[in-house]
Amino acid sequence: MQFSGKRYLDYSSFIKLQFGERVQKIALDIGFSCPNRDGSKGYGGCTYCNNNTFNPDYCEPEKSIKEQLEHGIQFFSKKKDYNHYLAYFQAYTNTYAAINSLKKMYQDALNVPNIIGLVIGTRPDCISDEVIDYLSFLSKKYFIALEFGVESTNEKTLLSVNRCHTFEETKTTFEKCKNKGFHLGAHIILGLPGESKQDLLQHAVEVSKLPIDTLKIHQLQIVKNSVMAAQYNRNPEKFDLFTVENYIEFISEFITHLRPNIIIERFISETPSDLLIAPKWGLKNFEIVAKIDKYLAQHNLWQGQNYSL
């Protein structure tokens, strides 16, 4: 399977193939909490987390879903000519509520003109059979994507970053969600403290075993107002943060171990400069992608090259 001339399956080509046009995601912040913050599993959240690092300006929880989506449509329509959009339930844990509340929220989003589907970000320990069945029902009419924060496949790492769920739970959840009619996605963070290069490459192997359609890859970033920021300030020697050059080289090797039919949605995370402590690369997402494309071509590498069942 190949969407473009790239040496990996890229998300933008997938979207054009899926819909026959470019479709923009519009992020929403509905004010969801997280079991790792409200005390049901833990307090303080994951050590690396500050949700403000990926919330755009139009994304404000005091606004209704309709208002946020309309403001998002207005924002993106000034940049490019989009006809359709996906409502992206992004901030915190977007299945962490009673089923009737979730149904209303999801339907409110789908009722906004030109919204043709949902992308829902959540945790693998916060999805019920009722929600899975409802999303399966919606997927008969709309494009539905369910994304889980995996973050690491290493149980020791998940414990150390206060993730409050295990990779075994992650695998169980993906098995429950497969073949339900909606797309499955995963997020992974590369460079968490204590993980060796071999540990990081093993993530590619383990993630490839999951029944996922898409993968978002993020490099570790130290952001303000996170527990990890304090840890980094006290003991910076415990962090082995990627340089641009090292990351491009490593990520190029990483994708050779990925299952070849996984769509790569993102290679890096781009934190606002006023929140980012380290590493400061000074490059935009598209600039990093261009460097990765060039490196892959120069070294004759491609997604799945070293993949084995």
pLDDT value of position 287 = 96
Domains of the chain as residue ranges with CATH: 11-298 (3.20.20.70)
pLDDT value of position 29 = 86
pLDDT value of position 91 = 76
Top pLDDT among 267 and 91 is at 267
pLDDT value of position 90 = 86
Mean pLDDT of the chain: 90
pLDDT value of position 94 = 79
Q: Print the SS3 string covering the chain.
A: CCCCCCCCCEHHHHHHHHHCCCEEEEEECCCCCCCCCCCCCCCCCCCCCCHHHHCCCCCCCCCCHHHHHHHHHHHHHCCCCCCEEEEEECCCCCCCCCHHHHHHHHHHHHCCCCEEEEEEEECCCCCCHHHHHHHHHHCCCCEEEEEEEEECCCHHHHHHCCCCCCHHHHHHHHHHHCCCCCEEEEEEEECCCCCCHHHHHHHHHHHHHCCCCEEEEEECCEECCCHHHHHHHHCHHHCCCCCHHHHHHHHHHHHHCCCCCCEEEECCCCCCCCCEEECCCCCCHHHHHHHHHHHHHHCCCCCCCCCCC
Residues 167-198 pLDDT 10s: 999 999 999 999 999 999 999 999 999 999 99
pLDDT value of position 188 = 97
Residue 289 has pLDDT above 70, yes or no: yes
